Amino acid sequence: MIWKRLSVSGAIQYKSPPVQLLALGDIKLQMKAKGKLGYFRYDGSALTQQGDVTMRGGTGRMTDSFSRLIFEGPVTAGNIQVANIIGEGPGVGNTTMRAEAKVSVIHNSGGSLLLLKEMLNR
């Protein structure tokens, strides 16, 4: 299990995207959800020039004020060309993976943002 916590006070500072994100090229993102804000099911995909990511059968929850968003479910990355994203130095070529992911985005009354990510390989 990998947990990462990020706490930011005040307004979020937006910066240019990192080189790795730019290396993905155009991203075609599609999502479908069914249910209500309190609980819904979703399917989605992100198609990039370096490979595809699918999210099938996930569940989500959020408050009507959008101060708390939680998404969890399976994530599959297929034939990702890792060397084109991080460079050839590490010696990683193409990869495919499947994981269970949970992402929580929580805004508290003090203006802070807490982001928790958990990925469990299967």
Q: Where are the domains of the chain?
A: 4-121
Decide if 47 contacts 27 (C-beta within 8 A).
yes
**pLDDT for res 38:** 92
The Cα–Cα gap between 74 and 16 comes to: 29
If one compares 120 and 49, the residue with the highest pLDDT of the two is 49
Q: What is the pLDDT of residues 35-89, one digit of tens each?
A: 998 999 999 999 999 999 999 999 999 987 878 889 999 999 988 888 888 888 8
pLDDT band at residue 104 under the 50/70/90 scheme = confident
Report pTM: 0.66
Residue 3 pLDDT grade (very low, low, confident, very high; cuts 50, 70, 90)? very low
Q: Are strands 68-81 and 94-107 parallel, antiparallel or unpaired?
A: antiparallel
